[in-house]
Amino acid sequence: MKLSNFWSEAELLQGVRENNEHAIKTIYKLHFPMVEKFIRQNGGMLQDAKDVFQDGFLVLFRNVKNTDFNLDCKIKTYIYSVCRRIWLTELKRKKKAPVSVKEPDEFVNIDESDIEEYNEHEKNLLHLSQCLVLLGEPCSSLLSNFYLNNLSMQEIAKKMGYTNADNAKTQKYKCLLRLKKIFFEKVVLKKEILNNGLN
């Protein structure tokens, strides 16, 4: 496969902002080796590197979609710095932080709050996908196909045996109402649990 070329950092960022497959793959190919090196030098395995890189990339991914966000260093440095922060936090959590951290590359300081915000956000999306499963059939398939898998209503109607697309559409909105109910209920529930736990 021939990969399209991104000629500048700005174009690469724009590609990420627009969910461009090639841009995302390019970033992985350009910058994963550096993260892998850091993780391996500091007590991690290849799989850890992949997980951390995915998280680090998603932080960037979410941030570039935010119009307020300004990247004031290279993409490489940013991803490396985020991944570094995530891995150091992980090491601390496992209580086996190395005495000295080997730094194969330059990095900028990343706020803990950025990572926490990201974790919150990830939890939220995890919750959403769990809710989608909890809905049960046919709502789960219907909504997943439409919202996640990019199928058109006609295709869905055909695939799931609805007489026409309008029927499927009415069904979709019914399912959405149910999804909304359990999604926001659970969030409220979780927050209450969390608050109770803290108290």
Partner 1 sequence: MDLIRFTELSEKYFNNSLNENERLELFSAINADTELKLQFEENVQLFNDLQLLKAENNAKQWLAEAENEKSNFKINYLNLRTRIIHYVAVAAVSFFAVVGTLYYSGWFSYKKNLQTYTQLANNITMLTNNQKSLWDALFSFNKSEYSYIAGTGFAIAPDGYIITSYHIVKDFDSIFVVNCQDSLIRYHADIVFNNLSLDVAILKISDSAFSDFGKIPYKLSDQNIELGENVYTLGYSKKDVVFGEGSVSSFTGYNEDSSTIQVSIPSNPGNSGGPLLNSKGEIIGMLCAKNNKIEGATFAIKSELLINLVDSLNSKLDSEQIILSKYNSLSNFDKPNQIKKIKSLIFKVEAY
Contacts with partner 1, residue ranges (CB under 8 A) = 1-3, 5-7, 19, 21, 24-26, 28-29, 32, 50, 53-54, 57-58, 61-62, 124-125, 128-129, 143, 147-148, 150, 169-170, 173-174, 176-177, 179-180, 183-184
- State which residue, 98 or 164, has the beta carbon closest to partner 1: 164
Q: How far apart are CB 190 and partner 1 at their closest, in Å?
A: 15
State the Cα–Cα distance between residues 168 and 129, nearest whole angstrom.
21
State the Cα–Cα distance between residues 103 and 98, nearest whole angstrom.
12
Q: How far apart are CB 161 and partner 1 at their closest, in Å?
A: 21
Q: How far apart are CB 102 and partner 1 at their closest, in Å?
A: 23
- State which residue, 29 or 92, has the beta carbon closest to partner 1: 29
- How many residues in the chain? 199
Q: How far apart are CB 95 and partner 1 at their closest, in Å?
A: 29
- State which residue, 3 or 193, has the beta carbon closest to partner 1: 3
CA pseudo-torsion sign 83, 88, 89, 90: positive
- State which residue, 102 or 164, has the beta carbon closest to partner 1: 164
- State which residue, 28 or 34, has the beta carbon closest to partner 1: 28
Residue 95 backbone dihedrals phi, psi, to 5 degrees: 60, 35
Q: How far apart are CB 53 and partner 1 at their closest, in Å?
A: 7
Nearest-10 crossing angle of helices 153-160, 165-198: 90
- State which residue, 92 or 121, has the beta carbon closest to partner 1: 121
Q: How far apart are CB 113 and partner 1 at their closest, in Å?
A: 20
